[in-house]
């Protein structure tokens, strides 16, 4: 976007894009807005957000340890997500996709998640 600087000259406003992916049923936006969008905007950046979300009726989990302990998303619809993001970001696009019922996964990855090990922990980094 173009804005006018203190000398009246037109300058380009710097922009940053954020892509949020996941499931509508498990969407958490509060921390993303507080730790990414608001701080970037407070620095004078224009923030564009694209959210690509599965619209399945129920949450899906790869990591079985968390499947029964997950709080449902507070978002009722994609329109609700769009409304919340528009109040915080400069430009918003919300895209729905159909998540496969049985996505292709590396089984060792799933086993490690079920055992509570992240990739960083397996590499000795955490």
pTM (two decimals): 0.68
CA 56 to CA 25: how far, in whole Å? 7
Quote the CA–CA distance of 41 and 57 in Å, as a whole number. 33
Q: Looking at the DSSP assignment, which residues form a beta bridge with residue 91?
A: 48
Q: What is the pLDDT of residues 36-69, one digit of tens each?
A: 999 999 999 999 999 999 988 777 776 666 665 5
Measuring CA to CA, which residue among 93, 91, 90 is closest to residue 21?
Answer: 93
Instruction: Name the more confident of 101 and 4.
Output: 101
Tokens of 61: 């989990």
Closest CA to 112 of 59, 65, 60: 65
> What pLDDT is attached to residue 45?
96
Q: What is the pLDDT of residue 5?
A: 47
């Amino acid at each position: 976007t173009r804005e006018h600087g203190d000398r009246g000259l037109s300058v380009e406003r710097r922009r940053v894009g954020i892509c949020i992916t996941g499931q509508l049923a498990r969407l958490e936006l509060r921390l993303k807005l507080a730790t990414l969008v608001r701080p970037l905007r407070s620095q004078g950046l224009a923030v564009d957000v694209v959210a690509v979300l599965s619209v399945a009726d129920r949450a899906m989990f790869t990591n079985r340890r968390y499947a029964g302990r997950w709080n449902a998303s507070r978002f009722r619809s994609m329109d609700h997500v769009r409304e919340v993001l528009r109040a915080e970001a400069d430009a918003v696009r919300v895209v729905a996709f159909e998540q496969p019922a049985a996505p292709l996964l590396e089984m060792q990855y799933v086993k490690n998640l079920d055992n509570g090990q992240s990739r960083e922990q397996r590499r000795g980094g955490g």
